[in-house]
């Protein structure tokens, strides 16, 4: 009986965690034209594509969508790509690619803005 309950508990735990794992692994442009991808928790969104510009808000979670990309100041990710998105406070901002879990920047299929 204990083994059956343990197996059930493990199965239930895996069933709950699979959707989150699927989101974490996903990074691509969907039919709505947006990039859906993992991101660094607490990633900041800036007014301009520069760390010197005002911070408009953050991405609290670790999975977000991005409307488009553009060139800006270089960042620690080794390029100058920044992604435009609506931040968790409702404001819009530029997030440096170093904080987005893309395999390539700019993300293939996402429009430039």
Convert the pLDDT of each residue in 54-109 to its tens digit.
999 999 999 999 999 999 999 999 999 999 999 999 999 999 999 999 999 999 99
Q: 8 pLDDT band (50/70/90 cuts)?
A: very low
d(C-alpha 6, C-alpha 77), whole Å: 43
* pTM score of the predicted model: 0.79
Between 2 and 89, residue with greater pLDDT = 89
């Amino acid at each position: 009986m204990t083994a059956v309950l343990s197996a059930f508990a493990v199965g239930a735990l895996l069933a709950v965690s699979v959707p989150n794992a699927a989101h974490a692994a996903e990074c691509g442009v969907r039919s709505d034209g947006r990039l859906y991808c993992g991101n660094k928790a607490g990633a900041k969104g800036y007014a301009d594509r520069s760390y010197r510009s005002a911070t408009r808000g953050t991405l609290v979670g670790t999975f977000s969508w991005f409307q488009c990309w553009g060139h800006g100041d270089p960042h620690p990710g080794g390029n100058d790509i920044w992604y435009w998105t609506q931040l968790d406070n409702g404001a819009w901002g530029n997030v440096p690619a170093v904080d987005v879990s893309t395999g390539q920047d700019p993300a293939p299929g996402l429009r430039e803005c």
